[in-house]
Amino acid sequence: MRADQVLDAAADLIERDGWIQGDGSNCLILDGSCAATAVHKAVLRAFPAAGIDELCARINDNLAPFVNALGGDSHDAIWKWNDAPARTKEEVVAMLRAVAINLRAADAGTVKTPRDSTAVPLACIDTVHMEKIA
């Protein structure tokens, strides 16, 4: 599954299961998902047989374009953006889909912005959280 597909799947998860704001650590275990956790869940569902190292790499690769689109330098940028007081579920879904569209356009050569999914080193979630959201 490509990054654009993962981001679309994350948007689908939020639309179907709900969206939450708040403490990033709770975001992994509550009903609904914040933007970052939706990406985590989409990766886990797309690659159920992957080991922890592969999952971490895939999560990082799929979060990086979103972080870059926000102008951030770590996955914390997603949580801060997601948790802005005026943020809405619709904005989160729209941003996930916009980044996915931009990735597809970059792959097709219709935008001049280079696609760089490795520009931001991101932390991976631990195995306890992965078991809770798988």
Q: For each of the chain's 134 residues, which pLDDT tens digit applies?
A: 888 899 999 999 999 988 888 755 555 555 678 888 888 888 888 888 888 888 888 888 888 888 888 888 887 888 888 888 889 999 999 989 988 888 888 776 655 444 444 333 333 333 333 344 44
Question: 3-state DSSP helix/strand/coil percent for the chain, to nearest 5?
Answer: 65, 0, 35
pLDDT at 31: 67
Closest residue by Cα to residue 56 from 134, 129, 124: 124
pLDDT at 128: 36
Q: Cβ(28)–Cβ(133) under 8 Å?
A: yes
pLDDT at 34: 83
Instruction: Count other Cβ atoms within 10 Å, centred on residue 8.
Output: 21
pLDDT at 101: 87
**The token pair that represents 65 in the structure block:** 């374009």
Q: Which domain, by its residues, includes 12?
A: 3-133
Kindly report whether the global pTM for this prediction surpasses the value 0.85.
no
Number of structural domains, the chain? 1
